Amino acid sequence: MWSYVFKRLLHMIPLLLGVSLLTFLLMSLAPGDYFTALSQNPQISQETIIHLKAQFHLDQPWYVQYFYWFKSVLHGDFGYSMAYKIPATSLIVQRLWNTFLLSFLALIIAWGIAIPLGIWAAVKKDSWIDRACSLIAFVGLSVPDVLLSLLALWFAAATGWFPVGGAQSALYDFMSPAQQFWDRAHHLILPAIVLAASDLAGIMRRMRSCLLDTLRADYVTAARARGLGEGWVIYKHALRNAINPLLTIFGYSLAALLSGAFIVENIMAWPGLGRLTMEAFFAKDSYLVVDCVVMATGLLVIGNFIADLLLAWSDPRIRLK
């Protein structure tokens, strides 16, 4: 098993490298840069611009720029954000943490609701519960994130129960730690629910179909034939096997969450990585965009890695080979 883990880890490094290279290349193809707008400003002299450009290596070909970028990243320094005028590292770390919080909470909500519902629907196949779950799943799968976020915004504005965007209130700094915690939670909950909602439907359907498939297997009939009670058969024998295919879609779930977070962050003004990417995009801050994309990819790759670990641990066929 450890060789499996080690191989997967080794695999991640060239992947992240490749992604950073690709993104860098794409950004270098972008016409104009941050200084294009600046050079329109008559108050800034041409020399200043040339000087600044040289400082950020923006006058060099893209592979040279990449080299410098890579070198500083290895030192944990993500460069300097020209748009925000602060070192990019602290900006990115903070936004990354926010995106992670949002995605993690959404993950827990989505899986926490979907798995029990899926099991229930499978066990009570063809009952009204099953049909209701199917319907909710279908509708849930079809509602686009964009619409759901907008509806959530409308809901928040109309009822006033939830804040309309942001991660903390204006008076955050004056609150006690406990109040700060609740304030953040209050801001986090609606975006997290919106994000979880679209994923939930798909997971629930998969859980139901995986469990139904497993219940048809021979070893389930054999277990019943040995006289095991129905509950024991379902929850110990069948479920344990049905979980495995779900762990494989855990990775896809994560990818969908991170993409979905992009939308939710931008619409509901949650200050995460997705929102930062758009801000950097509009400011033509290429380095920052690259940093964001690499960070998001890193999150996804690590998430997949954890999913693979879980799968390997859960399925002895993988663990022992």
Partner 1 sequence: MNEIATIQNPTAEQPLSPWQLFWRRLKQRRIAMVGGVILVVLYLVALFAGFVAPYSYDRQDRDRFFHPPTCPRLSGFRLVILRYEQLPGTFVYRAVLNDTKPIHFFVRGDKYKLFGLVPATIHLFGTGDENHPVYLLGTDQFGRDVLSRLLYGSQISLSIGVVGILLSFTFGMIIGGIAGYFSGWTDTVIMRLCELIMSIPALYLIISLRATFPPGMSSSQVYAMIIIILSFIGWASMARVIRGMTLSLREQQYVLAARALGQTHLKVIVRHILPNTFSYVIVAATLSVPYYILGEVVLSFLGVGIQEPNASWGNMLTAAQNTEYLRNYPWLLAPGAAIFVTVLAFNFLGDGLRDAADTKS
Partner 2 sequence: MNLLEIKNLKMDFGAGPEALRAVDGVSLTIGTGETVCLVGESGCGKTVTALSIARLVPTPPANYVGGEILLNGRDVLKMSNGELRDIRGGVVSYVFQEPGASLNPVFRVGNQIKESLKLHKPEKATNEEVIRLLKLVGIPAPESRIKNYPFELSGGMQQRVVIAMALASEPKLLVADEPTTALDVTIQAQILELLHDLKQRLGMAILLITHNLGIVGDMADRVAVMYAGQIVELSPAKELLRRPLHPYTKALMNAVPKLAGGANRLSAIPGNVPRIGNFPPGCRFAPRCPIAKSECSEKIPELVEIEPGRFVRCPFWK
Contact 235, 115 (CB under 8 A): no
* Cβ within 8 Å of residue 62, ≥6 positions away: 24, 25, 28
Identify the residue among 196, 270, 297, 307 touching partner 1 (CB under 8 A): 297
The C-alpha angle with vertex 258 and arms to 252 and 262, in degrees rounded to 5, equals 140
Phi, psi of 231 (to 5 degrees): -60, -45
- How many residues make contact with partner 1 (CB under 8 A)? 48
The residue behind tokens 């460069």 is 79
Tell whether residue 313 is a contact of partner 2 (CB under 8 A): no
Q: Which of 281, 306, 309, 310 binds partner 1 (CB under 8 A)?
A: 281
223 binds partner 2 (CB under 8 A): yes
Least distance CB 252 / partner 1 (angstroms) = 10
100: contact with partner 1 by CB under 8 A: no
Q: What are the Cα distances from residue 294, in Å, to 30, 92, 102, 224, 270?
A: 17, 11, 18, 50, 20
Among 292, 307, 311, 312, binds partner 1 (CB under 8 A): 292
- Determine, following the binding rule CB under 8 A, whether residue 160 of this chain makes contact with partner 1: no
Q: Out of partner 1, partner 2, none, which partner does residue 317 contact, by CB within 5 to 8 A per kind? A: partner 2
Longest dimension (CA), the chain: 87
Name the minimum Å distance from CB 85 to partner 1. 21
Residue ranges in 124-217 assigned as alpha helix (H): 128-142, 145-159, 177-215
Does 123 participate in binding partner 2 (rule CB under 8 A)?
Answer: no
| 135 contacts partner 1 (rule: CB under 8 A) | no
Evaluate whether 81 touches 87 at the Cβ level (below 8 Å): yes
The answer to whether 103 and 257 are in contact (CB under 8 A) is yes
Q: What 3-state class would DSSP assign to 81?
A: strand
* 63 binding partner 1? (CB under 8 A): no
Q: Look at residue 283 and give the partner it binds from partner 2, partner 1, none, a contact being a CB closer than 5 to 8 Å depending on partner kind.
A: none
Site residues for partner 2, 242-261, by CB under 8 A, read: 244
Q: Which helix (DSSP H) or strand (DSSP E) does residue 86 occupy?
A: strand 86-87
Interface positions with partner 1 (CB under 8 A): 15, 18-19, 22-23, 26-27, 29-32, 138-139, 141-147, 150-151, 153-154, 156-158, 164, 255, 258-259, 262-263, 266-267, 274, 277-278, 281, 286, 289, 292-293, 296-297, 300-301, 304
Interface positions with partner 2 (CB under 8 A): 217-219, 221-230, 237, 240-241, 244, 314-317, 320
